[in-house]
Homo-oligomer: A and B are copies of this chain.
Amino acid sequence: MTETAPRPTLEAVAARAGVSRATVSRVVNGGDGVRGPLVERVRRAVEELGYVPNQAARSLVTKRHDAVAVVVAEPETRVFADPFFALQLRGISKELTAHDSQLVLLLTEGRADHARVGRYLAGGHVDGALVFSLHLDDPLPELVQRAGVPTVFGGRPGWGEGTRSAVYVDSDNRGGARDAVRHLVGLGRRRIAHITGALDQTSAVDRLDGFRDVMVDAAPGLIAEGDFTPAGGERAMGELLERCPDLDAVFAANDLTASGALRVLRAQGRRVPEDVAVIGFDDMLPVAEQTDPPLTTVRQDIEEMGRLMARLLLRGLRGRGGEPGVGGTPSSVVLPTTLVRRASA
C-alpha cells in the first residue's frame, strides 16, 4: 500500500491563499462571484499544495462526475475472448476521451454480480451508463432504471420492464440476415442451413427472423442453435451435417460461429464454397480474412456503434443540463449492414 501523505485540506488552501474557506470552495467548484486576483491566488495555492477537491462532496453540489460507466452483461472471461467487445469499447473510449469523460468499465464474473453493479451505478459515481450484450431475463435493465442513471443500450433490449422507452444503438440484424440468405439463394443454393447465435439475445433472434423471412419453408432440421462462439459453431455444424447431409449452404450468426463451422466442414471433407457455401456476420477482422477460405460476411460497424452509444448518451446528458442548442431526448439508431464478398460464398 502506498503510504499516503495526509491529503491537503480546503482549510490549508484557504490559509495559504489568505482567503476564506467559502472563497476556496467557490473557486474550486466553479462558482461565480469571486474577483479575478483572488481566483488566481486560490488556483496557485491549489497547485502548490497539490489539493484535490473531495469529489464525493463536490458532486453532491454539482451532480456531475465526468465519468460514464460501461457494463457488459457477460462474464469478464468472454469480454476479453470475443473481439466484438474490444471493438465496441474502442468506439466508446474514443468518444468519451474526446469529451474528457472517464470510461469506467464495470467487470463481473457473472449474473450474480449484477446487483452489485446496480449499487455502484446508483451510488453517484457516474453521469450515465452504456449497457450492452443483454440477455433474456437479465436483471440489468431494471437495475439500471432503479439506479436512476441515464442509459443507452448497445443492441435492442427486447424484454423486461425497464426497457420499453429505452434508447439503443443496434445494427439492422434482420435485414442483414435477409441479404445473406438472398445471396445464397442467388448462388443457386437450395438446402440452406442456419446456425443461430445465443437465442436469449435479440441480435440472434433478429438474424434468425431474417433467415426465416427468406427461407419461409425451411425444414426445422436446417436450423441449429449456436452461442456466438467458435466451439458453438463446431457443435452446431456437426449436428446439421448429421441431420441434413445434403445441405449446400450455411448462414452462421456471426464470424466466430462461421470459423468453427468451417473447421468441421473441412474435417469432414466438404469443399467450401463448392460443396457448401458459408456466410458469417460481423466482418470481424482479422477473423473473417484469416479463415480458410476467407469469409463472405455481413458487415456491421461495431466500433461506430460504440461511438454512437457514447455520443447519444453525452448528448442526452447535455440536454438534461439545459444547454442551449441541444435537442431533447435522443432517439434510438439502427445502423445499416453491408454484404462483404470473399471466397466462402
Question: Which A residues fall within an 8 A CB radius of B?
Answer: 1-5, 7, 50, 52-60, 65-67, 76-77, 80-81, 83, 86, 89-90, 93-94, 97, 100, 102-109, 113, 116-120, 122-125, 128, 141, 144-152, 162-163, 165-167, 312-313, 316, 329-330
- A2-B162, A313-B1 in contact; A55/B123 too (CB < 8 A)? yes
Q: Can you tell how many copies of this chain the complex includes?
A: 2
Among B80, B105, B145, B146, contact of A86 (Cβ-Cβ < 8 Å): B80
Indicate if the CB atoms of B124 and A1 lie closer than 8 Å. no
Among B52, B77, B148, B152, contact of A147 (Cβ-Cβ < 8 Å): B52
Among B50, B58, B149, B162, contact of A146 (Cβ-Cβ < 8 Å): B50
Indicate if the CB atoms of A2 and B165 lie closer than 8 Å. yes
Indicate if the CB atoms of B104 and A106 lie closer than 8 Å. yes
Residues of B within 8 A of A125 (CB): 55-56, 65, 67, 123, 125
Indicate if the CB atoms of B59 and A76 lie closer than 8 Å. no
Residues of B within 8 A of A83 (CB): 80
Name which residue of chain B comes closest to A56, CB basis: B124
Central interface residue in A59, A76, A86, by most chain B CB within 10 Å: A76
User: CA of A166 to CA of B330 in the docked complex: distance in angstroms?
Assistant: 46
Indicate if the CB atoms of A152 and B1 lie closer than 8 Å. yes
Indicate if the CB atoms of A93 and B116 lie closer than 8 Å. no
Smallest Cβ distance from A82 to chain B, in angstroms?
Answer: 10
Indicate if the CB atoms of B80 and A107 lie closer than 8 Å. no
Residues of B within 8 A of A4 (CB): 145, 148-150
Name which residue of chain B comes closest to A328, CB basis: B1
Indicate if the CB atoms of B107 and A89 lie closer than 8 Å. yes
Residues of B within 8 A of A54 (CB): 123-124
Indicate if the CB atoms of A80 and B89 lie closer than 8 Å. yes
User: CA of A128 to CA of B1 in the docked complex: distance in angstroms?
Assistant: 9
Indicate if the CB atoms of B66 and A316 lie closer than 8 Å. no
Residues of B within 8 A of A77 (CB): 90
Indicate if the CB atoms of A1 and B52 lie closer than 8 Å. no
Name which residue of chain B comes closest to A163, CB basis: B2
Among B59, B80, B148, contact of A80 (Cβ-Cβ < 8 Å): B80
Central interface residue in A94, A113, A124, A145, by most chain B CB within 10 Å: A124
Indicate if the CB atoms of A1 and B76 lie closer than 8 Å. no
Smallest Cβ distance from A232 to chain B, in angstroms?
Answer: 18
Smallest Cβ distance from A284 to chain B, in angstroms?
Answer: 13
User: CA of A50 to CA of B93 in the docked complex: distance in angstroms?
Assistant: 32
Name which residue of chain B comes closest to A50, CB basis: B146
Smallest Cβ distance from A79 to chain B, in angstroms?
Answer: 8
Name which residue of chain B comes closest to A65, CB basis: B123
User: CA of A130 to CA of B83 in the docked complex: distance in angstroms?
Assistant: 25
User: CA of A152 to CA of B3 in the docked complex: distance in angstroms?
Assistant: 11
Indicate if the CB atoms of B76 and A123 lie closer than 8 Å. no
Indicate if the CB atoms of A52 and B119 lie closer than 8 Å. yes
Indicate if the CB atoms of A103 and B104 lie closer than 8 Å. no
CB-CB nearest 3 A-B residue pairs: A55-B123, A56-B124, A80-B86
Residues of B within 8 A of A329 (CB): 1, 3
Name which residue of chain B comes closest to A329, CB basis: B1
- A2-B165, A313-B1 in contact; A148/B89 too (CB < 8 A)? no
Residues of B within 8 A of A102 (CB): 106, 113, 116-117, 119-120
Residues of B within 8 A of A122 (CB): 52-53, 55
